A and B are shown apart, each in its own frame.
Chain A
Amino acid sequence: MNTQAQLFCAWCGVGFLVLFSIGWWFIAGYIPPMSPAMSANEVAAFYQENTGLIRLGMVITMFSAALSAPWVAAIAVQLKRIEGEFPALTYALLVAGAVGVVVLVVPPMVWTTAAFRPERSPELTLLLNDFAWLFFVMTFSPFFIQNLVIGLAVFSDKAESPIFPRWVGYFNIWVAILLIPGGLITFFKTGPFAWDGILAFWLPFGVFFGWFVVMFPLLLKAIKQQAALASVE
């Protein structure tokens, strides 16, 4: 049993949350999110005034994103235990998780590009800023699939003492559905469905971060249960 490796991967999820919050939130200052209704000059001013912080913050954010890979792998190992020999949902989780890393890595690169030459024409900075935010908030699909397949796998667990309790299945599907409003941001510059809105930003992101908080202790428990079973055999 590789309990240590699994625990390391699970803790990477916590590392992701902490480093991402430090880089994206506290250093770069992207929370609360910028309004999509801001003018080109306002956006350019934001990058001119916070150039250094954004550059530093984006290095950390970019690094933190990849920590979600081991985290997803740790969940995948537990799903594999449920699925057994032909783990279709586990593979789907791994592929979706890999794409998820890309979705989390690209926007910091675009934000840092915006901060790379803050003296350039404001229109261009506006374009980059739009691209980064749209890419970041709107791309719910890999995370939707990620949570959906976890939910389906938990439901398929017919064991007497299941690896995750069944409510975890419902919880993951609930999270999957709540990520969807992000997809609407392309239509709005203001209001709850804009990229800084309560239903398109705060709700999906709050739920996504809450998902880590809920899944982490359950994942640790599942790994320890697996280790206990292995030591009996």
Chain B
Amino acid sequence: MNSADCFSAVEREAEIKPHVPGEVGIWVFILGDMLIFGLFFIVFVYYRGLSVELYSQSQATLNKNYGAINTLFLLASSWFVAMAVDDMRNKTVKLAPVFLPLAMLCGLGFGVVKIIEYREKISAGITITSNDFYMYYYIFTGLHFLHVLIGMGVLVFLWHRARLAVTQADVRDGAVIEKDMVLIESGASYWHMVDLLWIVLFPLLYLMK
């Protein structure tokens, strides 16, 4: 198979000029969002430095297994999304409508574990006002969870577009239209950011010594 067959118009264009995944605007949001989480992390590390003992004691009550399972869920989910993007770049879309629901399933798994974890903490009497560590724990993981929920909506939308690309394959002569590609790359970039934020959040809250 030569390269002209397996790349869409978008990809061929990329060989000529540098390619930014998705639309440029989504990167304003992603980089802005990461900047803010970066600020969150700096604030956390600063205040942790002021009372390391309290933070370490509180951290010891977190269930590392939940955090680790959720890391695996999001990594797997990111992988499925990456495979779906790769598949959408092919002239005939086959697996994207399968990969995207698998990615959503991982996201759902993340949510279920998160809710079990919150329930355990709250029933043990640990809430947002218990101490500073739990304040950060609830606010940071809560904001991240909000990102996951938005991301699930994005994945549903991408799934819908991927299925359209398959069902309308004959009308479109099998090619994924450029607009679809921009949408799925934008959505996938956002989802990878959600994954990346967790990968920083997990060691920061659960593991940092």
Using a CB–CB cutoff of 8 Å, the interface residues on chain A facing chain B are 165-171, 173-174, 177-178, 184, 187-188, 191-193, 198-199, 203
In the bound complex, residues from chain A placing their C-beta under 8 Å from that of B135 are 188, 191, 193
Look across to chain B and name the residue whose beta carbon is closest to the beta carbon of A192: B43
Indicate if the CB atoms of A167 and B128 lie closer than 8 Å: no
**Which of B29, B128, B135 has the largest count of A CB atoms less than 10 A from its CB?**
B29
> Chain B, 13-33, contact with A by CB distance < 8 Å: what is the 0/1 string?
000000000011110110011
Can you pick out 7 interface pairs between chain A and chain B where the beta carbons lie within 8 Å of each other?
A166-B23, A173-B29, A184-B139, A192-B47, A193-B139, A198-B43, A203-B36
Q: Which residues of A contact B139 (CB under 8 A)?
A: 184, 193
CB distance from B187 to the nearest CB of A (A): 13
Least CB distance, B78 to chain A, in whole angstroms = 21
Which residues of the other chain, A, contact B26 by a CB distance below 8 angstroms?
A: 170
B45 within 8 A of A: no
Shortest distance from the beta carbon of B143 to any chain A beta carbon, whole Å: 9
Name which residue of chain B comes closest to A181, CB basis.
B139
Residues of A within 8 A of B25 (CB): 165-170
From the candidates A168, A171, A177, A203, name the one contacting B39 in the complex (CB within 8 A). A203
- The answer to whether A174 and B33 touch across the interface, beta carbons within 8 angstroms, is yes
Tell me which residues across on chain A come within 8 A of B32, comparing CB atoms: 170-171, 174
A198–B36 Cα gap in the complex (Å)?
Answer: 11
Residues of chain B at interface, number, CB under 8 A: 18
Q: Whole-angstrom distance between the alpha carbons of A130 and B135 in the complex?
A: 22
The reply to whether B29 and A187 form a contact with Cβ atoms under 8 Å apart is no
B40 close to A167 (CB less than 8 A): no
Once bound together, how far apart are the Cα atoms of A184 and B138, in whole Å?
Answer: 12
B149 to chain A, nearest CB (A): 13
Task: Report B's interface with A, CB cutoff 8 A.
Answer: 23-26, 28-29, 32-33, 36, 39-40, 43, 47, 128-129, 132, 135, 139
* B interface secondary structure, majority: helix
Q: Check A191/B33 contact, CB under 8 A, given A166-B23, A171-B28.
A: no
A167 adjacent to B24 (CB under 8 Å): yes
Indicate if the CB atoms of A199 and B43 lie closer than 8 Å: yes
A167 near B36: Cβ-Cβ < 8 Å: no
CA distance A178 to B28 in the complex (A): 14
Assess the A199–B39 pair: CB atoms within 8 A: yes
8 A-B pairs with the lowest CB-CB distances in the bound complex, closest first: A167-B25, A170-B29, A166-B25, A174-B32, A170-B25, A167-B28, A170-B28, A192-B43
16 new A-B pairs (CB below 8 Å) besides A187-B128, A188-B135, A198-B43? A165-B25, A167-B25, A170-B25, A170-B29, A170-B32, A171-B29, A174-B28, A174-B32, A177-B33, A178-B36, A187-B129, A191-B132, A191-B135, A192-B47, A193-B135, A199-B40
Contacts of A203 in B (CB 8 A): 36, 39
Taken together as a complex, chains A and B put the C-alpha atoms of A199 and B43 apart, in Å, by: 9
The distance in angstroms between the C-alpha atoms of A178 and B29, with both chains bound, is 11
> A148–B141 Cα gap in the complex (Å)?
23
User: Smallest distance from the beta carbon of A162 to chain B beta carbons, Å?
Assistant: 11
Separation of A112 and B25 alpha carbons in the complex (Å): 43
Give Cα A188–Cα B128 distance, bound, in whole angstroms.
10
Q: Cα distance A169–B32 when bound, in Å?
A: 13
With A and B bound together, what is the CA distance between A9 and B132 in angstroms?
45
Taking the closest CB of chain A, its distance from the CB of B40, in whole angstroms, is: 7
Residues of A near B29 (CB, < 8 A) are: 170-171, 173-174
The distance in angstroms between the C-alpha atoms of A165 and B24, with both chains bound, is 10
A177 to B128, CA, bound (A): 20
- The CA of A169 and the CA of B23, in the complex, are separated in Å by 12
Which residues of B are found within 8 Å of A184, using beta-carbon distances?
139
Expressed in whole angstroms, the minimum distance between the Cβ of B48 and any Cβ of chain A is: 12
Contact partners of A167 in chain B: CB under 8 A: 24-25, 28
A199 → B minimal CB distance (Å) = 6
Q: Considering the chains assembled together, what is the distance between the CA atoms of A50 and B135 in angstroms?
A: 35
User: A10 to nearest B CB, angstroms?
Assistant: 22
Contacts of A174 in B (CB 8 A): 28-29, 32-33
